[in-house]
Amino acid sequence: MSTTSKTGSDPAPATGDEDLGAASSQLSTAPVEDAPNLPSLGVIGWVRWFWRQLTSMRVALLLLLLLSLGAIPGSLIPQSGTDETKVADFRNANPTLGDVYDKLGLFHVYSSVWFSAIYILLFVSLIGCIVPRTWQFVGQLRGRPPGAPKRLTRLPAYTTWRTEAEPEQVREAALTLLKKRRFRAHLAGDNVAAEKGYLREVGNLAFHIALIVMLIAFAWGQLFKMEGNKLVVEGDGFSNTLTQYDDFKSGTLFTQDELDPFSFTLNKFQGTYETSGPNRGTARTFQADVSYSVGAYGKDKRTIIKVNKPMAIGDSKVYLTAHGYAPVITVRDGKGKVVYRDAVPLLPLDNNITSSGVIKVMDGYRNTKGVREQLGFEAFFLPTYTTGSETASTFPALNNPVLNLAGYYGDLGVDAGIPQSVYQLDKSHLKEFKDSKGEQQRENLKPGETMKLPGGAGSITYESTAEWANFQVTRQPASDWALTGSIVAIFGLAGSLFIQRRRVWVRAVKGADGVTVVEMAGLGRSESAKVPEELGDLAGILYDQAPGAPEADEDPTDTPEPHVVPAEGHEK
């Protein structure tokens, strides 16, 4: 037996088994593996040769291997797409290596030239493979399964018996039986040829086509995606325009017109935490209660956004990604006039939401001499203050909030035109408010408490605590295509792997002694115990319709001695 029955190559290589070669031909559409002998036909020959190589299974295999190897560095080296700061840290720590990595694109592996080259080649190969295979398959569907090879005994599963029935009767019965079993069967001279399991090929082609769909959807999504962040304090709102975002990233082909028109207000943020046990303080739920409206004149609707439950509006999704506290602060000048009143979002420093930030009073304040001045406060906040742990909160909820404030006056430097962080003070033109001992004035306030600034400079009051939530708005078009592609891929794959494509032949001829000899054989494309099992099944039924005749003197010489062991899958 030749290797052809395994690989389904077409046509059969010269192994002296020509009959079997034809029988197993076109049992699949997998490309033939020919040795890479070099062409001698000039440019066109070379191009054709190159194309043949690219679309061969061997090269597909190598490209797949390369793809998995190529994906590895990106998981071990920090990637600028996911964590810019880590990349910066890495560069600072290893400047020379950083340069080398930069040259090789190792900080953005998945968009690097070489990685793209691998998958583009792979997909060109894939398309170059699918198109001819599809045509070939259509041809196979139009044609009929090939007739029986001369010597059925050479096939992987074989059985024979002698019967009184006429050959025509046997063939007729076989044809009916096979058709009833949904084989594509036809009479081919002295035998019935049948084939089943075409869905395997359909599944395989569908799988590979789905891969292409997924890749295109993924690429499309990358080009047109957008992602922006916005921090919103309870009671405040957001409307979806570029200027409103705290930060914004988008794919190369994204344009502003693609922002879905909507706006929302954060009514309330709610977080609950584990109150006991070893994981005390671990978050149990985060949810944001929002009112939103779509379009310029949309009606207000209310909804809840949770960590895993984004709000979907058009193609955009609004995710809840972070939260923290925003103490409501009132600052008064020496005369008691309110010069500042706002909820100030503070940045969490740890899991118990110990937070810090600054309060900047830019205008409206005049000092005791009536001169315009700016004020700045450093704020340090513990949602749960416990004596003994003065510098870190002991629980994330607002059990015993304490706000620690230290004040400065002078020039905040905000008018210099240089962008400034809203969470830091530029102290180069600021002076500290000093207490009576000459040290910087620093006080712990509880909600409702006020810190008086020295020398009648005014006061600062911690009124209450609001919460803020950070929302990420993303738009990743074509994700439904990616999803459809992947569902098709799974079903195609299952069909391709679980369905057997196999052929069955039934030959019935009159022997020399006038008794009909029935021979049946089965051939599958891939390893499976099912082919002999099914053949046994079919033979059993056919045998009932064409019962055995007394044995002739001896078995046909070519039949192997049936050395009987239990069928595979039937062991024990």
Partner 1 sequence: MTLAAATDLAAATNEHLANLSNTLIYSAMAVYTLAFFAYITEWIFGSRSKIGRTAAALTEGADGKAKGPAVTVKKGGSTAVLERPKVVVRAAAGQRDVPDGPGAHGGDEQGDLYGRIAVSLTVLAFLIELAGVIARAASVERAPWGNMYEFNITFSTVAVGVYLTLLALRKNVRWLGLFLITSVLLDLGIAVTVLYTASDQLVPALHSYWLYIHVSTAILCGAVFYVGAVSTILYLFKDSYENKLANGGRPGSFATSFLERLPASASLDKFSYRVNAAVFPLWTFTIIAGAIWAGDAWGRYWGWDPKETWAFITWVAYACYLHARATAGWKGRKAAYLALLAFGCWLFNYYGVNIFVSGKHSYAGV
Residue 123: φ, ψ to 5°? -80, -30
Residue nearer to ligand HEM on the CB measure, 208 or 475: 208
Which residues 196-215 are close enough to bind ligand HEM by CB under 6 A?
A: 204, 208, 211
Q: Of these, 13, 18, 19, 57, which contacts ligand HEM (CB under 6 A)?
A: 57
* Spatial distance between the Cα atoms of 50 and 63, rounded to a whole number of angstroms: 15
Distance of CA 112 to the CA centre of its chain: 19
Task: Find the binding residues for partner 1 in span 461-490 (CB under 8 A).
Answer: 472, 474, 476, 479, 482-483, 486-487, 489-490
Asked if 14 interacts with partner 1 (CB under 8 A), we say no
For the CB of residue 72, give the shortest distance to ligand HEM in the complex, in Å. 17
Q: Two tokens at 539? A: 């033979």
Ranges assigned E (strand) in 74-218: 157-163, 184-188, 191-196
Q: Which residues of 62-86 are buried (b: 16+ CB within 10 A; e: fewer)?
A: ebeebeeebeebbeebbbeeeeeee
Binding mask 477-506 for ligand HEM (x = CB under 6 A): -------------------xx---------
Smaller CB distance to ligand HEM: residue 126 or 305?
126
Residues 6+ apart with CB under 8 A from 159: 519, 520, 521, 535, 536, 539
Could you say which residues in the range 92-151 bind ligand HEM, by CB under 6 A? 122, 125-126, 129
567 binds, among partner 1, ligand HEM, none (CB under 5 to 8 A by kind): partner 1
Which listed residue (43, 44, 76, 371) binds partner 1 by CB under 8 A?
76
Give which of 383, 362, 181, 140 is closest to 281, Cα–Cα: 383
Contact between 533 and partner 1 per CB under 8 A: yes
Identity of the residue, 441 or 526, whose beta carbon is nearer to partner 1 in the bound complex: 526
Report DSSP state, residue 64: H
Partnered with residue 509 across adjacent β-strands are 517
Question: Which H helix or E strand runs over 122?
Answer: helix 113-142
Q: Which does 367 bind (CB under 5 to 8 A by kind): partner 1, ligand HEM, none?
A: none
Scanning 52-60, 231-239, 406-414, 553-561 for contacts with ligand HEM by CB under 6 A, the matching segment is 52-60
Per CB under 8 A, 305 contacts partner 1: no
From the list ligand HEM, partner 1, none, pick the one residue 208 interacts with, judged by a Cβ distance below 5 to 8 Å according to partner type.
Answer: ligand HEM
Q: Could you tell me which residues come within 8 angstroms of residue 150 by beta carbon, excluding any fewer than 6 positions away?
A: 19
Q: Note the Cα 312 to chain centre separation in Å.
A: 19
- Per-residue binder mask for partner 1 (CB under 8 A), 258-297, x = binder: ----------------xxxxxx--xxxxx-----------
x-or-dash string of contact with ligand HEM, 10-29, rule CB under 6 A: ------------------x-
The smaller minimum CB distance to ligand HEM, of residues 126 and 518, is found at 126
End-to-end C-alpha distance for the chain, whole angstroms = 30
Residues 168-207 that bind partner 1 (CB under 8 A): none
**Helix (H, G, I), strand (E, B), or coil: what is residue 562?**
coil
Shortest CA distance to 460 belongs to which of 345, 375, 363? 375
| Shortest Å, Cβ 234 to partner 1 | 19
Q: How far apart are CA 424 and CA 85, in angstroms?
A: 19
Task: Calculate the alpha carbon distances from 116 to 66, 285, 348 in Å.
Answer: 12, 41, 39
Listed ranges 64-72, 341-349, 384-392, 413-421: which one lies at the site for partner 1 (CB under 8 A): 64-72
Looking at beta carbons only, is 41 or 483 nearer to partner 1? Answer: 483
Q: 422 touches which of ligand HEM, partner 1, none (CB within 5 to 8 A by kind)?
A: none
State the angle between helix axes of 84-93 and 95-104 in degrees (0 to 180), rounded to the nearest 10.
130
Rg (CA), the chain: 39
**Nearest residue to ligand HEM, by Cβ distance, number only:** 129
Interacting residue ranges for ligand HEM, rule: CB under 6 A: 28, 30-31, 55-57, 60, 64, 122, 125-126, 129, 204, 208, 211, 496-497
